[in-house]
Amino acid sequence: MADAKPLPLRATGLVVSYGGAPIVDGIDLAVGHGELLGLLGANGAGKSTLLRAITGQVPPDHGTIEIGGHDLRRHPERAKAHFGFAIDPDELPAPLSARQYFELVAAIRGVEPMAPPIADAIERLQFGPWLDQPIADCSLGTRAKIGIVGALIGLPPLLIFDESLNGLDPVAAWEAKAMLRNLAASGHAVILATHVVETVPGLCTRAVLLADGGIGRTWRTDELAVASAPTFEADVMAALRGRRVAA
């Protein structure tokens, strides 16, 4: 029997270009409930551009993006209600405190700012002492934690993290990865763009490598399950070097 629930993300024939040069060139990508997708690629491969297009920050030249069954172009507000995006630390509202930022996001989403999952995430990521400090006074790592928790407010079906584990201390990084695993296990779709290749096999259920604006290579769940961190890393390096030589 076919699943009646629409997919958290379905992007079809996506083309995004800057100044006439295509950065993302004809990508088809679907992410299902319970998937934790690792997005890999060299600098400039198009990871952030793809995520910006998916989150409605840059317009695609061609293609469609459906989030939770809602077309992002035609119904942006409805589509955006179905994902949470960890804001880059530099883009957070600097004069507000983390608590005020959460209140702002929660009011927009129409949920409680300090509901149990958020309070739990704050405790696990250990930034309670900085909760009432202006974000401007916080370190890069603390701001990254605020961005991660902000994405979780309202627990939307699709959660997107663009290199959000960068700058986290080891404990926080470990806790963040555990949270992502739990979210995927509870049926949320999670996308994690990362350069930390060795974290992917133990964390993600699927991985794609972006190269030359397209999907260069995909690793299925069963391939990731048997891969160790060093073998996967070597595999990714070979794929990256191969693309570069071919290019």
Partner 1 sequence: MRAGIARQPHRPNIAETEPPAVPRVLPRETCMPHDALVLRLLGADIRLFVRSLRRRDLAWIVLGGGGLLAYGWLSLTAHAAALAPHLRAHLPVAVTATVLLLLLLGAGAGAFLQRVAIARGRAAWLTILPLSDSALSRSIRLGALALAAVAATATGAAVGALALTLGLGWVAAPTGITATAVFLLDAALVISAPHQPEPSRLQAATARGLRIPGLAAIDRIGLPWFAAWSWGTQPGRIRVTARRILSLLALTLLAYFMLAAGLMRHDATPGLLAGLAGGVLIFVLSLRCAPLASPVLRTAPIGFLRAWLRLLRLPLLLSLAFFAVPAGTAFAASPHAWAIVPESGLGLLALNAIYAVFAAYFLRSTFLAAVAFLAALTYFVWGAAEYGQTVYLGLAALVGWLWYRARRRYRHG
What's the token pair of residue 28?
């088809």
140 sits near partner 1 (criterion: CB under 8 A): no
Which strands sit side by side in the sheet containing 70-71, from one edge to the other? 21-31, 9-18, 62-67, 70-71
Of 135 and 179, the one with the shorter C-beta distance to partner 1 is 135
65 contributes a contact to partner 1 by CB under 8 A: no
Phi-psi domain of 69 (left: phi exceeds 0; alpha: psi -120 through 50; beta: other)? left
Q: Which residues contact 74 (CB under 8 A, 6 or more apart)?
A: none
Q: Interface mask (CB under 8 A) for partner 1, residues 89-118, using x and -?
A: --xxxxxxx--xx-xxx-xxx---------
3-state SS assignment for residue 139 = coil
Q: Nearer Cβ to partner 1, position 57 or 186?
A: 57
106: Cβ–Cβ under 8 A, 6 or more apart, which residues?
112, 113, 153, 154
Q: Name the DSSP class of 58.
A: S
Q: What are 217's two structure tokens?
A: 């290579």
Which string of x and - marks every residue 153-192 that binds partner 1 (by CB under 8 A)?
----------------------------------------
Alpha carbon dihedral 42, 44, 45, 49, in 10-degree steps, equals 130
> Smallest gap, in angstroms, from Cβ of residue 136 to partner 1?
4
Q: Which residues pair with 211 in a beta bridge?
A: 214
48 binds partner 1 (CB under 8 A): no
Site membership for partner 1, residue 36 (CB under 8 A) = no
Residue among 2, 77, 116, 245 that touches partner 1 (CB under 8 A)? 77
Give the whole-angstrom CA distance, residue 217 versus residue 46.
14
Q: Give exposure, 45-74, as e/b (b: 16+ Cβ within 10 Å).
A: bbbbbbbbbbbbebebeebebbbbebebee
Q: What are phi and psi of 64, to 5 degrees?
A: -125, 150
Which of 2, 3, 19, 21 is close enough to bind partner 1 by CB under 8 A? 19
Query: Which range in 3-11, 21-29, 54-62, 181-189 contacts partner 1 by CB under 8 A?
Result: 54-62
Q: Which C-beta is closer to partner 1: that of 106 or that of 176? A: 106
Which of 27, 36, 55, 122 binds partner 1 (CB under 8 A)? It is 55
| Of 4-12, 53-61, 209-217, 228-236: span binding partner 1 (CB under 8 A) | 53-61
Q: Does 71 bind partner 1 (CB under 8 A)?
A: no
Residue 40: count other Cβ atoms within 10 Å of its Cβ.
Answer: 26
Q: For partner 1, give the closer residue by CB, 18 or 174.
A: 18
- Which residues contact partner 1 (rule: CB under 8 A)? 19, 52, 55-59, 73, 76-78, 80-81, 83, 85, 87-88, 91-97, 100-101, 103-105, 107-109, 134-137, 150
